[in-house]
Amino acid sequence: MKTIDELLHEGVEGKRVFVRADLNVPLDGTTITDDGRIRAVVPTVEALARAGARVVVASHLGRPKGAPDPAFSLAPAATRLGELLGAEVAFATDTVGESARATVAGLADGQVAVIENLRFNAGETSKDDAERGAFADALASLADLYVGDGFGAVHRKHASVFDLPARLPHAAGYLIATEVGVLKKLTEDVQRPYAVVLGGSKVSDKLGVIDHLLERADRILIGGGMAYTFLKAQGHEVGSSLLQEDQIPAVLEYLKRAEDKGVEFVLPVDVVVSAQFPDLKSKAPTEHRTVPADAMPAGFMGLDNGPETNKLYASKLADAATVFWNGPMGVFEHADYAEGTKAVAQALVDSPAFTVVGGGDSAAAVRTLGFDENAFGHISTGGGASLEYLEGKKLPGLVALED
């Protein structure tokens, strides 16, 4: 896989360089609530601009249905990128149309443009190779070189991720090089003990990664909504908690495999419950209480790990040499149910281990709860991509960057 440093050494002055970034940031109207993904691509864009390239940045945002939708415009992201670069960033109001062509043609050496949301064109996500290829052809006409740096999208077989690199000389940006290097430390040369913390809402989202990690991890800690399917599998009452009953057979199989392989599987010993889901807009205080995980009352739902679980999980992470964490422990967006997620984050901060926060909601939680990002070994920009890599899958966007 060619690196951006090799590309820079060959020379990019005066060349149009298409940078497939991941600017898929959360928005409240037109206000960006977490700019982590934009900041992550800045080193690549800055390096290219300093070397005299004419940089064309492209990304998706949200899930528009193959047509323009103002709610998913990349305009706020383009503005924020300009602020971070300390330079004006031009913005094209379409992907491959008149505005994109004119905007790119108007770039001088060292200048940067962002084109509109790639998913405003149905060809970006089409399952039809010809339709996807036609969009990739149109994108290729805007550039001389391609740099893949949108790690959060490399698990998608989309036109700008998979098809476009085949049409242009290509290289991996700094972010993708960093992300792949980190993931290799979690799969190929792991320092032990290796502890994995998995949370989030659904067991089904994590089955593949659990299956793969059972061959590699020493300890797997489970929290969040997915924990209740594990507790139910053990025969415990889980009230009205999130439950995927159809996944219980798979969960039982994993628990048995973990026991056979000597992998320690750690589940909550106490949980914070409420009779109703909290209002995440008003953040109003709720009625809640802590109960043993094996004695949840009917009609109540588990919404966070309890204090004894938080102590237990901290102790299980204290002596680890490598820790991977993906998925919050509870409804961290509400103060009443944020302590479990906060406790895991703090345990990682306190640990001397190589710690990796696996993107998505976990990365958002770290920032929302006020932790210093530099206190962690690495915070990934791609939750889904990280998990699929750890499952052992070939990621289309990485395959496309191979020579």
Q: Hey, which residues are catalytic here?
A: 37, 202, 360, 384
3-state secondary structure of 131: helix
* Residue 382 CA: distances (Å) to CA of 106, 164, 392: 32, 20, 16
CB 185 within 8 A of CB 208: no
Q: How far is CA 310 from CA 272, 287, 377, in A?
A: 11, 20, 21
What SS3 state is found at 274? strand
Beta-carbon contacts of residue 70 (< 8 Å; ≥ 6 apart):
none
Backbone angles phi, psi at 266, to 5 degrees: -115, 125
Name the residue among 360, 403, 402, 395 with its Cα closest to residue 158. Answer: 395
What crossing angle do the helices spanning 360-368 and 339-350 adopt, rounded to 10°? 90
Helix residue ranges per DSSP H, 274-324: 307-318
Task: Match 């991890």 to its residue by tokens.
Answer: 217
Phi, psi values for residue 210, rounded to 5°: -65, -45
> Which candidate, 295, 336, 334, 329, places its Cα nearest to that of 312?
329
- Distances in Å between the Cα of 151 and the Cα atoms of 37, 84, 389 are 10, 19, 11
- The phi-psi region of residue 84 (left if phi > 0; otherwise alpha if psi is between -120 and 50; otherwise beta) is alpha
User: DSSP letter string over 353-397?
Assistant: SEEEE-SHHHHHHHHHTT--GGGSSEE-S-HHHHHHHHTTPPPHH
- Is the bond preceding 193 in cis, omega lying within 30 degrees of 0? yes
- Backbone Cα Rg of the chain: 22
